Structure formats: C-alpha cells, structure tokens
Amino acid sequence: MNYLHQVFHHLRKDLRLEWRSRDSINGMLFFSLLVVVVFSIAFDPTGNPTITREISGGILWIALLFASVTTLNQSWTREVRNSVLDAQRMLPAPASALFLGKALSNLLFVTAVEVVLAPLFIVFYNLHALGQGWLLLAIMPLGTWALVVNGTFFAALGLRTKNRELLLPLLLFPISVPALLAMVNATTDVLTAEVDPIQPYFWIKLLAAYDIVFTTVCLLLFETILNAE
Amino acid sequence: MWFAVTLVVLAVGFRQAIFLVPTEATMGNVQRIFYYHLPSAILGMVFPYINCVASLAFLYWRRRDPWKALGADALAVASAEMTVVFVTIGLLTGSLWAKPAWGIWWAWDARTTTYLVLWLLFVSYLIARRFSGANDQGHTLAAVISIFAAIDVPISFMSIRWWRTQHPSPVFGGDGSLDASFYPAVWWNLAGWALWGFLVMGLRYALERRRQRVQEEAALEAIEASMETTQ
C-alpha cells in the first residue's frame, strides 16, 4: 500500500508538471499527425483500400513509436534541471517507484495522443476494422506500455551520456523488435481479418508476456542505473 | 603456441572444406561456403553468453571488488566485439549462399531475422559504450544493456519464428541432416574458428586490461600529486 502511495505521488507530480506546460502532449500530437500526413502523401490511401488496410497498422505504430521517442527524453530532462534528479536519489522512497510513476505518466500521455489520433486515422485512411475491432482496446494499451516502459528506462539510462537524444532510439528500436512485430501484426490482423480469428490472440499473449518480462527487468535494474556514477 | 595451433587447424579445415569433402549434390561448390557460415553462426551465438555472464559478474563485483569488476567488464567488451565480428561474417556468408540457393540475397525468414536483431543489439551495445565513456558509470550502463539484450534475444526468436520460417532446419539436432562424409570439414573449421575467436578475444581482453591499469595508475598519480601540493 505504501509503495502504491509513493508511485501515485510521483505520477501526480508528473501529471501536474505536464498540465502546467503541456509541452509533451502537444509536441507528440502534432508530430504523429505529421507522420500520418506524410505517409498518406507517400502511399495514396484512398486509391487502394486493401493495401491501405494492410499497411495502416504499421504506420500507426511507427507514428506512435517516433512520437513517444520525442517525448521520453524530455520527461527525464525536466528532472535534471535544478538538480531535481539528485534530490530524488536522496529520497527514502524506492527508486523503482519514481520509475513506475514516470512510466505510467508517459503511458497516459501517449494514450491521450492515441485517443486523438485514432479518429483522424479512420478519416484519413478510410478505415474500418473487418475483424473484431474491440480487440484493439487490448492491443493499444499493451503495445503502448511495451514502448513506454522500455523507452522510459532507456531515456533514464542515457540521461548522463553524450548524445543522449540519439542514444534512446538506438537502444529502444532493437529491443522493441519483438513487441513491434506483435503489435503491428495484431493490429493488421484485426483490420484485415484475413487470417484465422485466433491469430490476434496469439500476438496479444506475446505482447502481454513481453510487457510483464520487461516491466520486471526495468523495475529491478532501475536503481542500478539511477545510481550509476 | 595457441596462435600456431589455430593456424594449423584453420589450414586443415580449409583443405578439408575446399579440396577433400565431396561436392554437394544439388548445390554444387556453392555449398562449400557453409563450412564457414556454420562456425561463424554458431560462435556468434556463443560469445553473447560470455558477454552476459561477464556483465552479471561486473554488476556483482562493482561494489565488492572493483578491480575484478573491471576485469569482467574487459571480458564483456572483448566478447561483444567478437560477437559482432562473427555475426557479421555469418550474415554475409549466409547472404552470399542465399543468392544462388534461394534466388534472393535476403529472405526475412525467422532465423536470419533473429540473427539480424542479435547483430543490431550488439552494435547498439557497442555504440552505447562509446557514448557513455570509459568509467564506472559507462560500464554499469553497458552491463544493464547487455542484460536487456540477453532477455530480448529469446523473445525475438520465438516471435519471429511465429512470423515466418524459410531457413533450412538446424543441421545438428534438427530435421536437416548432414551426410557423415561432410563432417571432417565442419568439425575442423568449427574448431579452427573457435580457437581463432578465443585467441582474438584473449588479446582484446589483455589490451583492455592494460588500458585499465594505465588509467588506474594515472588516477593514482593525480591523487598523489594533489596531496603533495596541499601539504
């Protein structure tokens, strides 16, 4: 109970910071909108609905991946200003509570972007799910958490290195390959309904397993990287 | 001594692979690249384990025995660099073989894709080391990345296998079978390249150790110099 309380405090602090500036969400939102527009210029989505349905799952996740990379670095740099991070390290609360609060707030930000982006996507790409559309309600949060949990961890890891803006995607993309594969395939399966309806469940299970494994690893190792000097 | 043995074994392996072993029935001489592809591919999957164990050892010794921890870190760098070398050779030879055998350079099948992910992970590990500097912080971050990579590879393997499969089945302990007349070339080359890999890793380890010693001595001298000036 105590631990949850600490996580909640960190989360509330991050939400309040974001509420006062609204930098991350606005930046992410506009960035992912631009990615969607650029892709629709490149592929002409209304001309061929079948192809559009096949590639739009991938485009959606690429847009979200790039957008979250832009904001994940910021979520830690605002802690470095005025040595807030050093103060956090002296807290008696466990370091993993700080991490969990940060990751949850990032999850909320990216989810907010998804909520705005989804209707736009449907309009721009002329989409409607041929499979079980409600499965997306499971795929989206699981996929977002997979990106955000590792992304928050690697952003913290790269915080004190040179070229930290570059380091995050270099580390995050290779590690996320299995998760990306699962979320893109699950989304495409739901949108096209060309495969056995059991197939998306397979990917969702894989995504859930990935989330559980990497959340555990991040929580265990966060204290090591926070205190690496 | 080790160097001489390595050279002899590699020479025997070369002779076996190119001149002695019978030509494969369907693929002809192209198949001979397999004697170089298989050792690199197998060794490229051995060195990551060394890297992972060394990284865990580093994290364990970091606070308890700093000098041993530095040794573990030197081993981790050496094995990571050897991983990249062997995986690169494995990917290139595999691609050269795939062009005549499958008709394309790169097929995105399960095994090659996993292997590419392995390559990407270790290249990003080495880049991250470069970015984070040769100090305790950099070593710790690198060890953490290595643990992430070690966890990621099996998950990628499973997920990509569900995705697609085109690679020939594993030669040993799989459905793919290899006629006994091909064995000498396989074993000699595997042994030769393993000896070579450990030789280079040992040299790299010794080099890194020496660099660490120089760094420690320089730091010690700097401390002594600063103490003298304050007196």
Cβ atoms of residues A61 and A190 within 8 Å: no
CA-based nearest residue in chain A for residue B139: A228
Q: Closest partner residue to A228 among B131, B137, B149, by Cβ?
A: B137
Which DSSP symbol is given to A134?
A: G
Looking at residue B231, its pLDDT comes to 58
Please state, in angstroms and rounded to a whole number, the distance separating the CA atoms of residues A17 and A9.
12
Task: Check B131 against A167: CB less than 8 A apart.
Answer: yes
A positions 135-164 inside 8 Å of B (CB): 150, 157-158, 160-164
Please state, in angstroms and rounded to a whole number, the distance separating the CA atoms of residues A207 and A97.
23
Residue B179 located in a structural domain: no
Q: Which of A163, A176, A158, A161 is nearest to A76 (CA)?
A: A158
Beta bridge partners of B24: B28
Instruction: Say how many domains are in chain B.
Output: 1
A67-102 pLDDT, tens digit per residue, is 888 888 888 888 888 888 888 888 888 888 889 999
Please state, in angstroms and rounded to a whole number, the distance separating the CA atoms of residues A205 and A139.
10
B126 interfacial to chain A (CB closer than 8 Å): no
Residue B1 located in a structural domain: no
A220 interfacial to chain B (CB closer than 8 Å): no
Burial class (CB in 10 A: 0-12, 13-18, 19+), A178: buried
A174 interfacial to chain B (CB closer than 8 Å): yes
pLDDT for residue A36 is more than 70:
yes
pTM here is 0.83
A149-204 pLDDT, tens digit per residue, is 999 999 988 888 877 788 888 889 989 888 888 888 888 888 887 777 777 788 88
Cα B116-B120-B125 angle, rounded to 5 deg: 150
B160 interfacial to chain A (CB closer than 8 Å): yes
> What six digits make up the tokens of A68?
């979250």
Please state, in angstroms and rounded to a whole number, the distance separating the CA atoms of residues A60 and A113.
11
Q: A109 to chain B nearest CA, in Å?
A: 25
Residue B83 located in a structural domain: yes
Calculated CA dihedral for residues B158, A170, A36, A137, nearest 10 degrees:
40
A39 pLDDT tier (thresholds 50, 70, 90): confident
Residue B175 located in a structural domain: no
Residue B78 located in a structural domain: yes
A positions 185-204 inside 8 Å of B (CB): 185, 202
Task: Check B162 against A162: CB less than 8 A apart.
Answer: no
Residues 6+ apart with CB under 8 A from B151: A213, A214, A217
Residue B84 located in a structural domain: yes
CA-based nearest residue in chain A for residue B120: A174
Looking at residue B174, its pLDDT comes to 45
Residue B112 located in a structural domain: yes
B158 interfacial to chain A (CB closer than 8 Å): yes
B199-227 pLDDT, tens digit per residue, is 888 888 888 888 888 888 888 888 888 88
A44-69 pLDDT, tens digit per residue, is 777 777 788 888 888 889 888 988 88
pLDDT for residue B25 is more than 90:
no
B147-202 pLDDT, tens digit per residue, is 988 888 888 777 777 766 555 555 554 445 566 666 777 777 788 788 888 888 88
Please state, in angstroms and rounded to a whole number, the distance separating the CA atoms of residues A18 and A21.
5
Q: B140 to chain A nearest CA, in Å?
A: 6
A111-156 pLDDT, tens digit per residue, is 998 888 888 888 888 777 777 778 888 888 999 999 999 999 999 8
Which DSSP symbol is given to B28?
A: B
**Whether ipTM exceeds 0.90:** no
Domain, as residue range, for B33: 28-170+184-230
Please state, in angstroms and rounded to a whole number, the distance separating the CA atoms of residues A99 and A197.
37
Task: Using a pLDDT cut of 70, give the percent of chain B over it.
Answer: 82
Q: Which residues of A touch B121 (CB under 8 A)?
A: 174-175
Residue B10 located in a structural domain: no
In the block, which residue shows the tokens 């170089």?
B36
Please state, in angstroms and rounded to a whole number, the distance separating the CA atoms of residues A59 and A40.
10
